[in-house]
Structure 1
Amino acid sequence: MTKTLAALAVTLLLAACAHQPATVTPPRTEPTAAQLDAARRVGLAAPELSDLLNKPLYRMQPAEVGRFLAWQQLDQPLLRQRIAALARKNIGQPYELFLLGEFPYETYDSQPLFDLTKSDCVVFAEHTYAMALSASWEEFFWVLQRIRYRDGVIGVATRNHYTEADWNIANRWLVTDVTRTLGAPTQPYHQRIDRQNFLRKQFKIERDIAVQPFDDVYIAKQDVAAIEAQLQDGDFVNVISARGSDAWASHVGLIVTGAYGSRHILHSAEPQVREETLQGFIARLGERDARQAGQNKAALAGFKFLRLNDAPQVPPMAPQPRPARPAALGG
């Protein structure tokens, strides 16, 4: 390269840099007097509250989360508003599929029991609900296991793997399926739940579990606009996909109320947690499905809606059984 060309390159580089948009740092949120009083009541120092107000949940350490949750119980005393606030405080959290497992309690799934830095759609909803119901890290972790596992018994075989047949049923204390009661026509669908085959194929473990026929209904995507005004903050959304005659919940999220009363879905999906209007979500997936037409891929069919119960009471845990020993060792 000649000196002239080199000088020109440097000039163009400097010019390009000069025209890059400046990075805008959002103004810091400072606590109000009422928020400072709530912090004092739970022993949270004012400087730390100021820092936590300006830090997303996914960048907090567990001890910070515990102190923040205690304060949040006073700052947002209504459960629905607390769920919306906590969900929004995780906007931007990176997405990763198949995020969590039972490690170190079990080694069938090497993923850990919790990860605050990332989420998938189910983990995001479970964390948000558990945090909203808790006032410390220890309580959050306890409630989280009660939500994720049948009777709170930790294990890959007791995890609520199937959204409709496991998660929704096991967490009736938390949410109630209102899909049939919202006034829109519903569409039936059938599933064949083969947990034994799933556990064998996915984790190479054997469990004697009978196949379960499971029938359910959803509201078609084109009928959601007529009923979405009935949805409330904290409601649980099952996004139903279909391919041929098969339909299933392929994604989940939470309902939050936006400006002017619009209903939004707040959810974890590639690349990160985001909030969008419910109708915007339907339109975006409709465009995706149009691009994928003829490729034998699943398409958005509709939704199931589960109402957050008014005053959910966390049921007690079942005893955690002692792990079995090899038969050759006896006892």
Structure 2
Amino acid sequence: MSFSPTRRFAFATLRSFAAGWPATSGRGLIDARTLLPRPEIAGYLAGALLAFTAALMFPAPACAADSAPRPAEQLAAVPLYQFTEPEVGAYLAHLHTTEPDLRQRIVHLARKNLGQPYELYLLGEMPFETYDPQPLYCIAKSDCLVFTEHTLAMALTADWTSFMRLLQRIRYRDGQIGVVTRNHFTETDWNPSNRWLATDITAELAGPRAVKFYEKIDRSRFLKNRYKLDVSIPVEDHRDTFFPYAEAPTLAAQLQDGDIIEVVRGVVKKGAPANDIFGGSAWIGHVGLAAHGPEGTLHIIHSSDPKVREETLAAFIARETAHNAERDAAGKPRLLGFKFLRLAADPLANLKKLDGPDAPHVTLPGGGRL
């Protein structure tokens, strides 16, 4: 029997809940005194029913590829973004059997998604919240962060359910699903929340070449402007460093396959000193994955309009800086440099130290577990 993308999404969500169903120690699901579900499963049950019902009621995202499952031997020649959800799960199991090296799995999956169509702002919290009515995952399309997160989560897991859970642990602070707890700001949310996965090595690589930059992160204003939410969060004064772009291609020997490349962009003020980000402002505006070409050349694999591509870091820099003079004159953002994150040797072991042996710990807005 073949199901529509909407129904596949619903059943995939329900399977994710089943995998994490809380134990009741053989006491049954109903409390005999109250004739209600036991407290330890009440929130979980409500979340499961909400997820299943909403997934059936709301149209499935265009993110879900709609084709019948194909035999495993055919998938090797099919782009990853054309897989169905069951095919993704089967392929991850196959890949973990045939490629034991995490970094090589990351590069393999990234390259298998070359050509994936680009679309910005693909993901949200549906069906658990409605502030951002986008789904929790997307296979058919990506933006730069969606591509990077999906690739890393897939490389670390061997089935669909594990992939879905780990993806949400990467996307949300402490795995708490919600628009407020989503890792919106790369430098101040995503990087600190995912230190179990990758660590910042920018200052180590740059040494005296490192350039400092500063930001004021106003999450309350961001959430109010984008989602009409009134949330009180103190403004954060963030201090950071980046590696100047001109010398970045020389880092081929220092960077490893699967490391994370973050692109720092900003506005340059005429005549300002370079060691003060040119007197302007800077932020992380793009992200991709490091890989190496046949001759050891440093490459970046990333999702950028119109599709996922692989190119040398030197080519990326040349294209990004071709119109720097015009951008500076107009006060528009342009490439300043990069941050580099080193993939951990054993991310899942690190995560278990934080979340416990049943990691990843993923929590729904209502308090249930995913």
Scaled by the length of structure 1, the TM-score of the pair is 0.81
Q: Which residue of 2 aligns with 1:289?
A: 324
Pair 1:64 & 2:108 matched: no
Report the counterpart of residue 119 of structure 1 in structure 2: 142
2:163 is aligned, of 132, 140, 165, to 140
Distance 2:178 2:323 in 1: 36
Q: Which residue of 2 aligns with 1:256?
A: 291
Give distance in 2, aligned partners of 1:304 and 1:99. 24
Instruction: Identify the residue that residue 208 of structure 1 maps to in structure 2.
Output: 232
CA distance in 1, matches of 2:328, 2:141: 31
Q: Cα offset for 1:114?
A: 1.2
- In the alignment, the residues of structure 2 paired with residue 277 and residue 270 of structure 1 have an alpha-carbon distance, to the nearest angstrom, of 17
2:289 maps to amino acid: L
Q: For residues 99 and 289 of structure 1, do their structure 2 counterparts lie closer, same or farther at Cα, with a shift above 3 Å needed?
A: farther
Alpha-carbon distance in structure 1 between the residues aligned to 2:251 and 2:95: 31
Q: 1:183-262 to 2 correspondence within 5 Å?
A: 183-184=206-207, 185-244=209-268, 245-262=280-297
Cα distance in 2 for residues equivalent to 1:318 and 1:269 = 29
Aligned with 2:364 (options 287, 303, 320): 320
In 2, the alpha carbon distance for the partners of 1:102 and 1:224 equals 36
Q: Secondary structure at the match of 2:322?
A: helix
- Check whether the contact 1:237–1:255 (CA below 8 A) recurs between aligned residues: yes
Aligned-partner SS, 2:215:
strand
Q: Which amino acid counterpart does residue 118 of structure 1 have in structure 2?
A: K
What letter corresponds to residue 69 of structure 1 in structure 2? L
Which of 174, 179, 195 pairs up with 2:197? 174
Larger radius of gyration: 1
User: What amino acid maps onto 1:254 in structure 2?
Assistant: L
CA distance in structure 2 between the partners assigned to 1:201 and 1:261 by the alignment: 45
Deviations along 1:242-276, whole A, 9 cap, x unmatched?
A: 11310000000000111111110000000000000
Are the aligned partners of 2:128 and 2:364 in contact in 1 as well (CA < 8 Å)?
A: no
* Whole-Å separation in 1 of the counterparts to 2:168 and 2:324: 35
Q: Which runs of 5 or more structure 1 residues have no equivalent in the other structure?
A: 1-46, 324-331
| Residue matched to 1:158 | 181
- Deviation, 1:292, is 3.9
% identical aligned pairs: 49
Q: Tell me, in whole angstroms, the C-alpha distance in 1 between the residues paired with 2:117 and 2:220.
A: 32
2:178/2:365 contact within 8 Å kept: no
Report if the CA contact (8 A) 2:168-2:362 is conserved.
no
Contact kept? 1:183, 1:227, Cα under 8 Å: no
Q: Which residue of 2 aligns with 1:80?
A: 103
Number of aligned residues? 277
For 2:303 and 2:336, how far apart are their aligned partners in 1? 19
- Aligned to 1:181, the other structure's residue is in SS state helix
CA deviation vs aligned residue, 1:39-79 (integer Å, no higher than 9, x gap): xxxxxxxx812210011110000000000000000111100
Number of the residue aligned with 2:66: none
Give 1:115 deviation, angstroms.
1.4
1:182 deviates by 1.4
SS of residue paired to 1:182: helix
Task: Decide whether the 8 Å contact of 1:101 with 1:112 is kept in 2.
Answer: yes
1:109 aligns with 2:132: yes
Give the drift of 1:137.
Answer: 0.4
Name the residue aligned to 2:23. none
SS at the partner of 2:315? Answer: helix
Q: Is the CA contact (8 Å cut-off) linking 2:302 and 2:310 kept in structure 1?
A: yes
Alpha-carbon separation, structure 1, partners of 2:83 and 2:103: 22
**SS in structure 2 opposite 1:190?**
strand
Q: How far has the Cα of 1:319 moved from its partner?
A: 4.1
Shift of 1:291: 5.3
**Distance (whole Å) between structure 1 residues aligned to residue 141 and residue 325 of structure 2:** 30
- Which whole-Å CA distance do the structure 2 matches of 1:96 and 1:295 have between them? 27
Q: 1:48 to 1:248 in 2, by over 3 A?
A: same
1:303 to 335, 338, 345: 338
Structure 1 counterpart SS, 2:158:
coil
In the TM superposition, residue 99 of structure 1 has moved relative to its aligned partner by 1.0
Secondary structure of residue in 2 paired with 1:230 = coil
- In the alignment, the residues of structure 2 paired with residue 322 and residue 226 of structure 1 have an alpha-carbon distance, to the nearest angstrom, of 49
CA distance in 1, matches of 2:206, 2:224: 41
5+ long unaligned stretches in structure 2: 1-69, 269-279, 356-360
Q: How far apart, CA to CA, are the structure 2 residues paired with 1:105 and 1:322?
A: 8
User: Do the aligned residues in 1 keep the contact of 2:86 with 2:160 (CA within 8 Å)?
Assistant: yes
Residue 138 of structure 1, CA deviation: 0.3
3-state DSSP of counterpart to 1:115: coil
Aligned residue number for residue 129 of structure 1: 152
Amino acid at match of 2:366: R
Provide the secondary structure at the position in 2 that maps to 1:224: helix
Matched, 1:279 2:310: no
